[in-house]
Chain A
Amino acid sequence: MAARTLFDKIWDDHVVETLPDGTSILYIDRHLVHEVTSPQAFEGLRLAGRKLRHPERTVAVVDHNVPTSDRSQPIEEEDSRNQIETLERNVKEFGVPYFPLLSANQGIVHVVGPEQGISLPGMTIVCGDSHTSTHGALGSLAFGIGTSEVEHVMATQTILQRPAKNMRVNVEGTPGAGVSAKDIMLAIIGHIGTAGGTGHVIEFAGSAIRGLDMAGRMTICNMAIEAGARAGLVAPDETTFEYVRNRPFAPKGEAFEQAVAYWKTLSSDEGAHFDREVTLRAEDIGPTLTWGTSPETVLAITDTVPDPAQIEDEAVKTQMQRMLDYMGLQAGQKIAGTPVDVVFIGSCTNSRIEDLRMAAQIAAGRKVAPGVRAMIVPGSGNVKRQAEEEGLDRIFLDAGFEWREAGCSMCLGMNPDRLTPGQRCASTSNRNFEGRQGPGGRTHLLSPAMAAAAAVTGCLTDVRELA
């Protein structure tokens, strides 16, 4: 058999049938469901008199809309409450396993899936959310789908797809001080652009990727979508197997050993063909953040804001000026020292225990700068509990951070956690689009450590100065 990539192997293993025009019916092992992109899909099933084919391969959780404040109170926003109640009715009617708001296991779907062992290596995993790419960190093929496809998976446990092209991004070497997975991924997106991965599945490889823990790999794969890729993945290795072992829904005992034997076959063969390959040196990457309203507008914290006058393409120049105006920045200004109003540490990109530890290391013994609102939103109830066991909540509370309940929160502001117009936010989330965190809000994407540094200094800061 010809040499195959990791993506090719998982793909081949899940093709049910290939139609004459090259479209494949692809089998889906896990379907993750949340309250925002599922109501119309359940309604579609109901109208067509269809059943959910495999509720036992499906898991639902509430995350996008949920308040991250006191949960003993009813949800104030009526439309949010309605969407959550609609999900609760639907999971009951269709028999879907569900983590409700008050479950200790509730959290962001892309944190909960790996944490519970629901997402495993070698699987095909879909969810009506673009950041499903996160689960690719386990060595699975995981991608976001629209609501019509959610309904299609519910009815058939398959999806119609054409194979993606293969791309490999290698990051070699050892990251320097203050550089985490988030900095590496922002640098990758800055390098290949937000359409750099379009039509491709990106395999992340190289010694710097191998050296990351699972949380770091999840941060990388999470933002594969920001590079335009259909999915991102990392070949499973001992780090992966150790992470998966003993997770609540992972196979146990003999079954686990069988699974590992299979998972060990999941790496790209020597000589496998990649349509595109890019290599970065970890040593060239410093603490990195975005200045504009597209995730590709990245710079190092030591850099100055770019100047549209130096751009030739008129459309690009105009768009760049528009970004500067929106962000309230001047061409040529140093990005470090720019004052922030809000700091958000959370989201499916950076809300795992490892992320909170990095932030706590910077926050310890310091105080949030006057006038700055700094929020910590753990990715799940389990992350929150573990952080409390480690005393991280005390570090954050003593420093003046808010310590909140799990959910998507200010990543997209569907719940009350929103920026007001003109507010500038240092955010560990994944998108800096205009209005993403609230109408008129200004977002700088950065790592948990950099976000904590901004909180305690009151401005965008090189975290290495606080180490």
Chain B
Amino acid sequence: MEKFVTLSAIAAALPEANIDTDKIIPARFLKTTQRTGLGKHAFDAMRYLPDGTENPDFVLNRQPWRKAEILVTYDNLGCGSSREHAPWALLDFGIRCVIAPSFADIFFNNCFKNGILPIRLPREICDELMGDAQMGSNARLTVDLPRQVVIRPNGEEVPFEIDAFRKHLLLEGLDDIGQTLHHEGSIATYEQRQDQAKSWLPTIHFD
């Protein structure tokens, strides 16, 4: 996983609530066995017209937002399906940071696993950042993870919260399986205890 430390990039505003993961990547594109290559289908229904050509009105089809790496939306971003194809599609498009007043739980988790930083900020602040995101070639925000601030084009710094463990994984670009395997002893102890306490718990074997 790529590290996330600081990011200074074009921000795009998608002023909608409840942007679901079907909207981020429709189910018919989930038939891949790879993590990459989904960027061209990110926001497919909004991005392309029925004849397959680009919708010129959609923000990510316009300059400078074709190169956006930060996305600002309203509440409950990523609701619906647990598909990690949603953050994969965003990442493949080039998005490294998503900012919203609230996120659906599974999508929020999935972002971290892919080096995308999801930031929760109040609705009023998201409105201000959306304003910044509409400043054409000046639509740049800077995200400083070590200091936990978003820096607006006017220099104002907006602080945000993040769990210490998740911050550490992002800053170092660490795979959390490796981290958990450091606790192998605890897992083995738990399994022994469980085997005794719940001897009725069946395992699954097919003939």
Residue contact B82 to A315, C-beta cutoff 8 Å: no
B206 CB contacts on chain A under 8 angstroms = 97-98
Asked whether A194 is an interface residue with its Cβ less than 8 Å from the other chain, the reply is yes
Proximity string of chain A (191-215) to chain B, C-beta cutoff 8 Å, 1 when within and 0 when not: 0001100110000000000000000
A48 in contact with B16 given A19-B165, A431-B22 (CB within 8 Å): no
Asked whether B158 is an interface residue with its Cβ less than 8 Å from the other chain, the reply is no
Asked whether B30 is an interface residue with its Cβ less than 8 Å from the other chain, the reply is yes
Proximity string of chain A (333-350) to chain B, C-beta cutoff 8 Å, 1 when within and 0 when not: 000000000000000000
Within 8 A of B (CB), among A66-89: 77, 79-80, 82-83, 86
Asked whether B147 is an interface residue with its Cβ less than 8 Å from the other chain, the reply is no
Within 8 A of A (CB), among B16-34: 16-18, 20, 22-23, 26-28, 30-34
A103 CB to nearest chain B CB (Å): 10
A435 in contact with B180 given A149-B113, A195-B75, A255-B200 (CB within 8 Å): no
B82 CB contacts on chain A under 8 angstroms = 37, 128-130, 132, 144-146
Asked whether B83 is an interface residue with its Cβ less than 8 Å from the other chain, the reply is yes
Proximity string of chain A (301-328) to chain B, C-beta cutoff 8 Å, 1 when within and 0 when not: 0000000000000011001000000000
Asked whether A447 is an interface residue with its Cβ less than 8 Å from the other chain, the reply is no
Complex formed: what's the CA distance from A29 to B195 in Å?
Answer: 11
Residue contact A148 to B84, C-beta cutoff 8 Å: yes
Asked whether A369 is an interface residue with its Cβ less than 8 Å from the other chain, the reply is no
Which residue of A has the minimal Cβ distance to B16? Answer: A319
Asked whether A388 is an interface residue with its Cβ less than 8 Å from the other chain, the reply is no
**Chain A: interface residue count, which band?**
35 or more
Residue contact A249 to B33, C-beta cutoff 8 Å: no
Residue contact A435 to B22, C-beta cutoff 8 Å: yes
Complex formed: what's the CA distance from A20 to B104 in Å?
Answer: 25
Choose among A156, A194, A421 the residue that contacts B181 (Cβ–Cβ < 8 A).
Answer: A156
Residue contact A82 to B114, C-beta cutoff 8 Å: no
Proximity string of chain A (203-234) to chain B, C-beta cutoff 8 Å, 1 when within and 0 when not: 00000000000000000000001001010000
B23 CB to nearest chain A CB (Å): 7
Complex formed: what's the CA distance from A130 to B105 in Å?
Answer: 10
Within 8 A of B (CB), among A393-440: 412-414, 421, 431, 433-436, 439-440
B31 CB contacts on chain A under 8 angstroms = 36, 65, 77, 79-80, 82-83, 414
Asked whether B2 is an interface residue with its Cβ less than 8 Å from the other chain, the reply is no
A151 CB to nearest chain B CB (Å): 7
Asked whether B106 is an interface residue with its Cβ less than 8 Å from the other chain, the reply is yes
B150 CB to nearest chain A CB (Å): 21
Asked whether B53 is an interface residue with its Cβ less than 8 Å from the other chain, the reply is no
User: Beyond A27-B187, A147-B84, A198-B105: 8 further Cβ-contacts under 8 Å?
Assistant: A120-B202, A155-B180, A158-B180, A194-B76, A195-B104, A230-B106, A256-B200, A414-B28
Q: Can you list 25 A-B pairs, Cβ within 8 angstroms, ordered by A?
A: A21-B163, A29-B201, A37-B82, A40-B34, A40-B35, A56-B204, A56-B205, A57-B203, A64-B30, A79-B32, A97-B206, A145-B82, A146-B87, A156-B180, A194-B76, A198-B105, A199-B105, A258-B200, A433-B20, A434-B22, A434-B23, A435-B22, A435-B23, A435-B26, A439-B26
A-side residues, CB < 8 A to B, are: 16-17, 19-23, 25, 27, 29, 36-37, 39-40, 43, 48, 50, 54, 56-59, 64-65, 77, 79-80, 82-83, 86, 97-98, 117-118, 120, 123, 128-130, 132, 143-149, 151-152, 155-158, 160, 162, 194-195, 198-199, 225, 228, 230, 249-251, 255-256, 258-259, 262, 294, 315-316, 319, 412-414, 421, 431, 433-436, 439-440
